[in-house]
Amino acid sequence: MKIVITGGGGFIGFKLAKALLSRGTLAAEKITRLTLVDQAFPADLPRDPRLAALAGDISDPGFAARAIAADTTSIFHLAAVVSGAAEADFDLGMRVNLGGMRAVLDQARRIFDAGVHPPRLVFASSVAAFGGDLPKVLDDSTTPAPQTSYGSQKVISEYLVSDFSRKGYIDGRSLRLPTIVVRPGKANAAASSFASAVVREPLNGIPYECPLPPETGVWLLSPRKVVEAFIHAHDLPAAKWGSSRVVNLPGITVTVAEMIEAMEKIAGAQARKRVSFKLDARIDAIVKTWPVRFATSRARALGFEADPGIDAVIRDYIADEGVRAQ
């Protein structure tokens, strides 16, 4: 089993890589090579003979051809320009989010055309696929109508994954990810960055000015659960997916106020006092287009799971990242 993770230098990609190396197998086959593809990588890459890191731009077809070798069996495509950045720089989002997807798919097709078994591809899509006039609770029949460039780029990529799968060039599956909380480190350009920062910064003794009102709801999933979802999605047989290669992952609906309350219960009143509010109209306009409640019957029937609650999400973050709540 020879695996490529695009976006492998990012938080989720790197966490997925460590989980795979620890497991040692994927789809009951021994992992012999795991290549991380990104523009930069963490300093603490494991010293493992199975692991390689390749720096470059995945939207460059020449680089994609080097990154995805002819003997690649599985691809996790996580590389992307995040929501806020894709909205602010339309050309960059189109080049990386769409051009990168096309470069990955074209290279995967070359593997198939060379007479090799089609690679299995898991794509990180997003609930930003939905927007506009939405029902109170979305389900598997809700039609995507993205209201951001990022969401549009994700939906187009989903269609490409499905069509390449229909043609037999790949064995693809797309996961619409909820907002992933709690992410460690510094805030990034994602519009959803607030959902981690409002918990992370106060726990680390840092004041945080939240750009959205307390009643803002978020459909979220923890890093632990999303890594499990990527592996589970890969290992499901193609027959389980049928003609629909896209699934809305389960999550939990939590408001900013509820996140702060849970954090206070775990870390005390002093942590809560570190949060203040200052509305950012640009971020608010993006986040308001995102759905916050889903009925995910298909995902649950396929074996995907959500977190039990926001308290568990915060406690898992503290345990996984070695946080000493301030």
Q: To 10 degrees, the CA torsion angle through 158, 163, 169, 173?
A: 40
Distance between CA atoms of 312 and 203, rounded to whole angstroms?
15
Catalytic residue among 150, 169, 208, 317: 150
Helix ranges restricted to H, the chain? 11-23, 61-67, 83-88, 90-93, 99-113, 149-166, 193-203, 223-235, 238-241, 256-267, 269-273, 281-287, 297-301, 310-321
- Residue 74's nearest CA partner among 15, 106, 29 is 29
The amino acid occupying position 111 is I
For residue 127, give the DSSP letter. G
Please report, for residues 32, 84, 276, 284, 299, the alpha-carbon distance to residue 213 in angstroms, rounded to integers and kept in the order given. Answer: 48, 18, 10, 9, 31
Q: Do residues 230 and 157 make contact, with C-beta atoms less than 8 angstroms apart?
A: no
Distance between CA atoms of 102 and 209, rounded to whole angstroms?
38
- Residue 22: Cβ-neighbour burial (10 angstroms; 0-12, 13-18, 19+): exposed
Distance between CA atoms of 153 and 80, rounded to whole angstroms?
10
Task: State yes or no: is 159 an active-site residue.
Answer: no
- Encoded tokens for 21: 């190396």
Three-point CA angle 16, 22, 23, nearest 5°: 90
Distance between CA atoms of 164 and 172, rounded to whole angstroms?
8
- Please list the active-site residues: 150
